[in-house]
Structure 1
Amino acid sequence: MTLARAPRPIEPVAPGLRRMRLVATGLLVAMAATFLAARHFAPLHPAIGFVRAFAEAAMVGGLADWFAVTALFRHPLGLPIPHTAIIPRNKDRIAGTLAAFLRDNFLTAHVVARRMRGVDVARAAGRWLANPPEANGRIGSGAARLAADMLEALDQERLGGMAKGAIAARLRAIEIAPLLGQALTAAMANDRHLPLLDGMIRWASRTLAANEHLIRDIVHSRAGSVMRWTGLDETLANKIIEGLHKLITEMADDPAHPLRIRAEEGLAQFAQDLQAKPELRAKVEGFKVEMLENQAFQHWIDGLWESSRAALLRLARDPERALGGKLGEALRQFGATLQDDARLADTINRFARRAAVGAASDYGDGIVRLVSDTIRGWDARTVTGRLENAVGRDLQYIRVNGTLVGGLVGVAIHAVDTLL
């Protein structure tokens, strides 16, 4: 036995619409009562004829507009009069028309691109980050709880696997050798490589100090018996160590030292080779692949995802506290930078425009179909109730205006008839 589908609940009438219906209907009833009273007392004074004319024409205007408004949503008095219940009968056509309107005016790539040209996403985000709204409001706290619940409800294994897979896939797709070469070239152009070079020199000094015994052993093992007997091997080893220490100290103190200049030239050549030499780029890519396949790197990716997820949950559960620490300060500084740095803002705005245009191109048809199919899936009562709640209050004003305007026209006609 099949169960009958439960009927959809009738859309509740909005309080504003119900109130305006009562006003419009009450005005029509008042005009009817006025007409009856004026008709009864008409012989008492000629001026009552104007009241009767007003009430009579107002009834006609009010009834005509009541019929027109009612015919949009249902059959007046339940009678199947032709060309009434317009919206329920044309539900599917309305869905198609609305979907076409959305597609042609909002969801095509050129329309989105044109509208996004005037939208300054970067500076708007910068103002929000620099001066964030209160996080403890109803909207803010509700959004934070919703975000936390959604993040906890998602399948962590699948979500984590997707995030880690996306990171690894992105790293595999990037050829890092040219990027490293460009970064090193840019750093050297602005002397940002000097701390690296100084660090290398300090590392060489510490390495030499930690391995002096190896130099002594090498000199002792390769010296002849006479040198060992006379102790000259020890003297020679000390001179070598002393000379190396002196050389490293001079390189550290003198920016124009020849060996330091040669090291900078080597760095510049290495940066160029990273961008131009295929064999070096292949070696760097091979090293990258080995690093990505290393188990230790996989553990690092796991830790990165878990720490990011935990930070997101902390931010969602207590946004005011999270934004009050170093993260909040960093976000506020970034917001100030977005407002002050025109180049960065232009870059972000271009990215936002391209993302919006790409989303419209990729998902616009799907959004249009969703709107159209959703409206087609509603039954006639649902469509009628929602549209009437949306615009019905203004339509009731038409009934009121029709009653009053009809009455004024009736007075004008009666005046002309009286005068002639």
Structure 2
Amino acid sequence: MRPSSAPLSVDAVPPALRRMRMLATGLLVLMAGVFLASRQYEEVHPAIGFVRAFAEAAMVGGLADWFAVTALFRHPLHLPIPHTAIIPRNKDRIADTMGVFLRDNFLIPKVVARRMQRLDLAAAAGRWLANPGEGRGRLRAGIGRLAADMLESLDQERLGGMAKQALANRLRALEIAPLLGRALEAAMAGDRHRPLLDGAIRWAAKVLEANEHLIRAMVHERSGAVMRWTGLDETLANKIIDGLSKLIAAMAEEPDHPLRTKAEEGLAQFAYALQNDADKRARVEAFKNELLDNPALADWWLGIWESGRAAMLRIARNPDAMLKGEFAGAMRQLGETLQHDARLAGTINRFARRAAVGAASDYGDGIVRLVSDTIRGWDAQTVTGRLENVVGRDLQYIRINGTVVGGLVGVGIHALDVLI
């Protein structure tokens, strides 16, 4: 027995459609039986004439609507009657029409912008992030399964390559030097560069400590024979190391140390040059492009992508894990911020609107071609089966209505005939 959640094949008839077909056909057969019976006993009572008129007209109406409904999808009785099997014969025209309809009504940038203007995506996302577990268990699980299936079904190497290429193209198009300059300038204005300097000083101290033997060897090699014989080379090396250690310690302890001030001035000049020096900007861009062309960076990015994909798969397979730990707290805080920070919400909604409009403008024709070509690629049986499975149940109601309305019209005509 087929599980209730198992998908139907193209050729399978949904149970609801099958029941409606049996009901419409059974009603037509019933009217035929009533007509034959009333014809035999019409002389018994004048009222039976009304029954016969109803059944006769109902048969005509039911047969006419059966022919009309059947002619949409196939030849009635397998006879090549003109203007039947309309959908299979016009499959390609239907594909083009659906593509044009989709483009003209949904994928025009102005239409997308107008519809997106009404949506507050930031607030909706904020509500979900702030309360992800309230009444949304089935939805969350369903979305998780869908996301996991999509991530597993896609070609990971190709998908990772596409993501890497998209990121690389974005970075190539972005002039990074002015951004770095402004970021450094803003950091220095808020004294956020000081931890960087402190870290550099601590690193210098560790480097000096790890390489004392190199300094001693260098002084020993460059000293004369007299200095080496008297041991002055060792004394000089110790003085150099001790002086450097004291200098680094002083820089670490004194925020206003002259060398720190010089370093800050150098950083300020560097930030200015990144924004205004064309030669410096060109060198940064060349370094950026050289870095992007480095195979090692490509391998590193693919490793990061695979790690991120694995993390997304873990979350998709177990969406309840999102509700636990520090990650859940961060998501809830983000949700609260999205609901109450109007400026941030406006920025996100504006970005989503521009992204949707841009996608409609850039990929609208491609989506239309995809829909049209997909339908064109289906065979006639596939198109017929899928459309009939979608609208066939409503079309069977037309047959039932035709049978009933035809019968009522027949009774009316018979009543006029009797009265006149």
**TM-score between both structures, scaled by the size of structure 2:** 0.72
Q: Which residue of 2 aligns with 1:234?
A: none
CA shift in 2, pair 1:408/1:284, >3 Å:
closer
User: Structure 1, residues 230-262: CA drift from partner, whole Å, max 9, x if none?
Assistant: xxxxxxxxxxxx9x999998967xxxx999999
Q: Is the 8 A contact 1:136 1:320 kept in 2?
A: no
Query: How far 1:168 moved relative to its partner?
Result: 5.5
**2:373 is the alignment partner of 1:373:** yes
Equivalent in the alignment of 1:355: 355
Partner of 2:411 in structure 1?
A: 411
Which of the numbers 143, 146, 151 marks the counterpart of 2:146? Answer: 143
Number of the residue aligned with 1:154: 156
**Counterpart in 1 of 2:125?**
125
After superposition, where does 1:157-172 map in structure 2 within 5 Å?
Answer: 167=167, 170-171=170-171
Shift of 1:406: 1.5
**Residue 394 (structure 1) aligns with:** 394
Q: Secondary structure at the match of 1:11?
A: coil
Distance 1:207 1:110, change over 3 A: closer
Question: Cα gap change, 1:129/1:177 in structure 2, threshold over 3 Å: closer, same or farther?
Answer: same
User: CA separation in 2, counterparts of 1:76 and 1:298?
Assistant: 61
Is 1:314–1:322's contact at 8 Å kept on the other side of the alignment? no
Cα drift, residue 272 of structure 1? 4.4
What corresponds to 1:220 in structure 2? none
> Following TM superposition, by how much is the alpha carbon of 1:418 offset from its aligned partner in structure 2, in angstroms?
2.0
Q: What is the Cα-based RMSD across aligned positions, in Å?
A: 4.5
Equivalent position of 2:111 in the other structure: 111
Gap change, CA 1:154 and 1:121, over 3 Å in 2 = same
Question: Is 1:51 aligned to residue 63 of structure 2?
Answer: no
Alpha-carbon deviation of 1:306?
Answer: 5.6
User: Do the aligned residues in 2 keep the contact of 1:127 with 1:335 (CA within 8 Å)?
Assistant: yes
Name the % identity. Answer: 65
CA distance in 2, matches of 1:90, 1:289: 52
1:98 is matched with: 98
Residues 46, 139 of structure 1: alpha-carbon distance in 2 compared, 3 angstrom cutoff: same
Q: Is the 8 A contact 2:161 2:302 kept in 1?
A: no
- Alignment map for 1:204-215 (pairs within 5 Å): none
Q: Does 1:21 align with 2:21?
A: yes
Q: Displacement, 1:278?
A: 3.2
Quick check: 2:10–2:382 contact (8 Å CA) kept in 1? Answer: yes
Q: Letter of the aligned partner of 2:329 in structure 1?
A: E
Superposed CA offset, 1:365-389 (max 9, x none): 2222222222223333322222222
Q: Distance in 2 between matches of 1:75 and 1:248?
A: 91
1:74, 1:85 within 8 Å by CA — same for their partners in 2?
A: yes
For structure 2, the residue ranges without an aligned partner over 5 or more in a row are: 1-8, 209-245
- How far apart are the structure 2 equivalents of 1:149 and 1:202? 42
Equivalent-residue separation in structure 2 for 1:107 and 1:22 (angstroms): 41
Written as runs of structure 1 = structure 2, the 5 A alignment for 1:165-204 is 167=167, 170-171=170-171, 173-187=173-187, 191=190, 193=191, 195-197=192-194
- 8 Å contact 2:178–2:281 — kept in the other structure? yes
Relative to the length of structure 1, the TM-score reads: 0.72
Q: What amino acid is the match of 2:137?
A: E
Change (3 A) 1:173 1:19: closer
1:141 and 1:405, CA in 2 relative to 1: closer, same or farther beyond 3 A? same
Bigger Cα displacement from structure 2, 124-133 vs 28-37: 124-133
State the 1:162 CA deviation.
5.7
Find the aligned partners of 2:174 and 2:10 in 1 and give their Cα distance: 56
Shift in Å at residue 172 of structure 1?
5.1
Closer, same or farther in 2 for the Cα pair 1:187/1:404, shift >3 Å?
same
Which residue is 2:213 aligned to? none
State whether residues 187 and 193 of structure 2, in contact with CA within 8 Å, keep that contact through their aligned partners in structure 1: no
Report how far residue 161 of structure 1 moved. Answer: 5.9
Q: 1:261 to 1:343 in 2, by over 3 A?
A: farther
User: Secondary structure, in 3 states, of the residue corresponding to 1:42?
Assistant: coil
Query: Counterpart in 2 of 1:215?
Result: none
Q: Residue 311 of structure 2 aligns with which residue?
A: 311
Match of 1:134 among 127, 132, 137: 137
CA contact (8 A) 1:135 1:319 kept: no
- Aligned partner of 1:84 in structure 2 is 84
Q: Which ranges in structure 1 are unaligned for 5 or more consecutive residues?
A: 1-8, 212-241
**1:321 and 2:321 are equivalent in the alignment:** yes
CA displacement, residues 5-35 of structure 1 (integer Å, 9 cap, x when unaligned): xxxx972222222211211121122222222
- 1:277 and 2:277 are equivalent in the alignment: yes
Output aligned runs, 1:216-227, within 5 Å: none
CA distance in 2: counterparts of 1:294 and 1:33, whole angstroms:
83
Give the count of matched residue pairs: 381
Structure 1 pair 318–188 and aligned structure 2 pair: CA distance change class (3 A): same
Q: Which residue of 2 aligns with 1:5?
A: none
Aligned residue number for residue 237 of structure 1: none
Moved more, 280-289 or 95-104: 280-289
Contact 2:62 2:402 in 1 (8 A): yes
One-letter amino acid of the structure 2 residue matched with residue 149 of structure 1: E
Task: Show the counterpart of 2:334.
Answer: 334
Q: What one-letter code is carried by the residue in structure 2 that aligns with 1:146?
A: D
Shift of 1:316: 3.8
Query: Are the aligned partners of 1:130 and 1:332 in contact in 2 as well (CA < 8 Å)?
Result: yes
